[in-house]
Chain A
Amino acid sequence: MRSGPDGPSPNFAGRRSRTALGDRAPFHQRLISALYTIAGIGLFFAVWWLAASQLPRSRLVTPLDALGDLWANFLDAPRLGVFGLGKTGYGSLLLYTLSNVFIGLLTGGAVGVIVGIASTRLKFLRAMVDPILLVLGTVPILVAAPLFLLWFGVVPFTQVLLVAFYSAIMMVLFSQRAAENINPVYERWAMTFGAGLGLRVRHILIPGTVPEILGGLRITLASAWGLEVFAEILGAPSGIGQAIKALTNLNNVPGLLACVVLVAVTAIATDILLVRLARRIAAWA
């Protein structure tokens, strides 16, 4: 993050350094990076295509077949109606999943950050929180999800709560680590300016932990997608997980792959948005 003690940092002349959050690199570097990404995606589809050409259609279809299914069923997928999903398409089911992921991530993440940061400054809270985290963090989703379904029923709230629950646990850990990693000299310096605890939390602890917390939020977001889809497969009134469950029962390989591609693309898009937001919020890092 910092340059040496007496030498100018390499980005002093207006160039911006790269950080864990992906600070902007020069154009030619970004171009090369984009070409590698395109090559990676191309390689993935080539392997998929090759595998599909060797396997029967009942096992694997080509990327074009999957994309064709996605196009045909995005707004209206009549075959899903028989599974109690009503008149729906992949698009509206994805919207349900997306909103649950974000509501769960934001509520759970907010609780996690507050508890995580507070527990690094309040010893009694740390002593209370750590054993609870240790126990709850080890509960597998395969155990937690059926319990949540039994307690709260097959309603959207159940999936949101499940995502919020695991997001909170992860964000407590990320926030604790972020707050512990802040150099104590910053708080000591703020104290010599007369800053009390409230001002130190506002001006030192919160901005100082932002980059690491946002890094943790990216990992939590990726986990939240998996948790939400899994929770929907186990039981939900809607969502892309329910479509995956229905399409599995129908042995519909193109539909299944279409849903997987849809979730993957949306998850990557939300991650890119989060990275851009992080760059803006933590421009100093």
Chain B
Amino acid sequence: MGLKGEAAIVGVADYKNERKYTGPRHFFTEQFADLTHRALVDAGLNKSDLDGICCTAIREANMFAPATLAEYLGLKVNFAEIVDLGGATPVGMIWRAAAAIEMGICQAVICAIPARPIPSNPIPSPTADDLRFYGSTSANWGSPQAEFDVPYGNVAQNSGYAMIAQRYAALHGYDERALAKIAADQRTNAQANPNAAFYGKPASIDDVLASPVIADPLHILEIVMPCAGGGAVLVVDKALAAKSKNRPAYITGCGERLESKSMTYQDDITRTPVGPASQSAFAMAGKKPADIDVVEPYDCYTITVLLTLEDSGFCAKGEGMKFVNEHDLTYNGDFPVNTHGGQLGAGQAGLAGGMSQVIEGARQIMGKADDRQLTRCDTALVTGTGGIMSEQSAIILEGG
């Protein structure tokens, strides 16, 4: 059961991450078309090869996003999917595309996430903008979060992740330098990625610890920086993979786990859903953690990386801080993690933030990671995290 590894990533595209985007503004339909064009060019394939589309919610349409996008691109597709898993969406898109291809209902699926600002609306809708500061928390009437999270201030992401870190600290101790090292090592990786928001701005462990505490114990440099950007990944069948000009990155394993919306109701907030997701991916691919050449874990916060390394089986529960201290997480190191800088080093372009991890894993396998290219990279584990570690996805990529 599971994926047989017959679908591959053969083309990727991403926009430079920019904290203050000043370029021309385009709608999501337009950005989606541009990202798709770039991914096809990267792969050396044509629009006529495409027969599947996978997207997120778009700003221009509250419903029917796949139809809106497919029509705009002039596509007739056999697979039309929208994924709504927060930061787990990109990884969730890739395995759904691979599964549809393996079922034989389509041959090439574009998975794209625009995340640049759209043109200013001459008829602004105040309600949508007013509620955006609640982040992943829904303040709509009837939503349990509106009633039982919002009045107490446990809104958006910082407080939830901070509480996960606090409970972890109470159970396992807390070496703040180890957590800061995750951010610092990834920032080092970002220095080899000109598209990173923090390119040209290295930060040391001491810099991270000297930055302001936002919600105990999280420093601001342990939290992603929002930015503009966007990313696309082209997933195709074996026949098209053979025609592509890139080394294919086959999707050989996947897993997904969703346990709650608020972290408040998780069984154990220090054991995250990426555990079952990664175990499923490893079992499907017939791999174990030691077989992985590069790990591209979703990294909205440093604690997310720590718990992902533990729960995916790279070290035991409670050993993550020791593991991080004993390994060099940079692209020159013995255990490379988020070689593009991750979202902590490269910035978080909305939902496309998690796509950066998929793209980097594929680029490392394709041998197209420029100055940060690993000398050998045949296997990658990529994870995605939505909400407050409430939903997580994992895929394993293997070079063809």
- B partners with A: no
Interface positions of A (Cβ within 8 A of B): none
Interface positions of B (Cβ within 8 A of A): none
